[in-house]
Amino acid sequence: MKKVLKITLIVVIIGIFAWTIYFLYQKSRPELVVFETKSPEVINIIKKTVATGSVVPRKEIEIKPQVSGIVEAVYIEPGTVVKNGDLIAKIRIIPNMINLNNAEARLDQAKIDQEDAELVYDRQKKIFDEGVIPAATFQQYKISLNRAKSELNAAENNLQLIREGVTKNSENTTNTLIRSTIEGMVLDVPVEEGNSVIESNTFNAGTTIAIVADMGEMVFEGKVDETEVGKIKTGMNLLLTIGAIEETKFNAYLEYISPKGIEESGAIQFEIKAAVELQKDYFVRAGYSANADIVLARKDSVLAIEESLLIFENDSVFVEIETAPQIYEKRLLEVGLSDGINIEVISGVTKEEKIKVPK
């Protein structure tokens, strides 16, 4: 029994030793690598750059009041379509107390002067009717009465203008009624009834009552890196992708390139503007974010390969051509335009040859 166990143990040890040797042998054998191959293709190569920005109205106007006061009424809301001259809001003037006091005093004095002029006129008229004084002398008293009436009317208008910002004879032309200066859509109304507003003058920009824009004429405003700005020029076509309208693309034409760059995050960016061709089926809102594809260079129907197949050595470009199954030789290439994925092959390979795909 002991002899059987001893033989069994020896067999097991020999088996483990043999398996270990076999395993190490298999691990030491070089792994057979099979490389994939790809052939050149005839494709269109388009080199382009992408500018990020937004679509905004070409004409966007801030409507500001010409008088300071309190917003008494607002007649529009965002989204309202207005015409040039349409009423937007009404301002109630808060009068200056010093000016108001002076205007009231002027009105009181004008009333006194008119009453005095009327008394003098009536007295002199009786004398004139009796033939005591000549017509030329009586004419002066009549002129004085008319002047007193005119001054009283001016004082009343002045007081009403200070109190209400409008006179009884010019209610339709008052500057307390805020009207649109262009035809378009109201984008924003930053004030509400009861808000205080400041007039627009040489010392103050004034409070914005409403923002009105012509939504029928939109432009793309974006920025291009300094490495690409030298490759673009006005008149070039752009293809816009608007984030909120992904299912379609819009054509645009580059019409402005800023002559001065702005540093952003360590890079110099140049502003560009492009006129957008709107489509009737889509409403483009102001401020939509968009990306513009600008075609810098294009070659159609050229022989090309993927850039990942290239081998770079110093200033030269090579590929490995399959001469027999899994046997390759290095060959020098002359390449042309690249779009970042595919590159044009000017010479070095043919369409029928197979190129090794590096691992």
CA 336 to chain centre: 37
- Cβ pair 301, 316 in contact under 8 A: no
pLDDT at position 53 is 92
Give the CA angle between residues 48, 290, 253 to the nearest 5°: 60
pLDDT at position 136 is 81
pLDDT at position 268 is 92
- Cβ pair 57, 211 in contact under 8 A: no
Give the alpha-carbon dihedral of 242, 244, 246, 250, to 10 degrees: -30
Q: Is the dihedral of CA 103, 105, 107, 110 positive or negative?
A: negative
Q: What stretch of H or E contains 135?
A: helix 135-164
- Cβ pair 220, 274 in contact under 8 A: yes
Q: Could you give the angle at which helices 135-164 and 97-129 cross, rounded to 10 degrees?
A: 160
Q: What is the DSSP string of 7-34?
A: HHHHHHHHHHHHHHHHHHHHHHSPPPP-
Residue 19 CA to residue 296 CA, distance in Å, equals 65
Which mean pLDDT values do the consecutive 10-residue runs of the chain (359 residues) have? Answer: 69 74 65 76 86 92 88 92 92 73 81 86 82 81 86 80 63 72 93 88 86 94 88 88 88 93 90 92 91 85 88 86 83 87 88 84
Residue type, 149: K
pLDDT at position 25 is 64
Q: What size, in residues, is the chain? A: 359
Strands 245-257 and 267-276 turn out to be antiparallel
In the Cβ-directed half-sphere of 269, how many Cα atoms lie within 13 Å?
Answer: 15
Domains of the chain in sequence order: 37-46+300-356 (2.40.420.20), 50-57+215-297 (2.40.30.170), 60-88+176-213 (2.40.50.100), 97-164 (1.10.287)
The single-letter DSSP state of residue 285 is P
- Cβ pair 291, 221 in contact under 8 A: no
